[in-house]
Amino acid sequence: MASVTVRIACRHKWWLKYYLAGVLVMARLTCREPCPERFSYWVGRGIKIEVHPE
C-alpha cells in the first residue's frame, strides 16, 4: 500500500473568536446552554480546513 503525505491547514475567520466569547458570556449570564445546531452552524462557517498534498 502506498503512503500519502498531506499537510492540513485549519484557519478561522476573524469574527469567530468574538462569536465564541459572546456565546460564552451570554451562556454564563443566563445560566443556559446555547443551541447546539445553531452553534455548530456558525462554527462550521467560521472554520476553513484545507488539505494540501505534499
Distance between first and last Cα of the chain: 17
6 forms beta bridges with 53
Q: Residues 48, 6: contact at Cβ < 8 Å?
A: no
pLDDT at residue 2, rounded to an integer: 86
Where in the chain are the domains? 6-53
Q: What is the pLDDT of residue 54?
A: 85
> What is the value of pTM for the model shown?
0.76
Please list the pLDDT of the chain residue by residue as tens digits (54 residues): 889 899 999 999 999 999 999 999 999 999 999 999 999 999 999 999 999 988
The reported pLDDT for the residue numbered 50 is 95
What's the grid cell of residue 50?
A: 484545507
Question: Which pLDDT does position 1 carry in this prediction?
Answer: 83
How far apart, in whole angstroms, are the C-alpha atoms of residue 42 and residue 12? 11
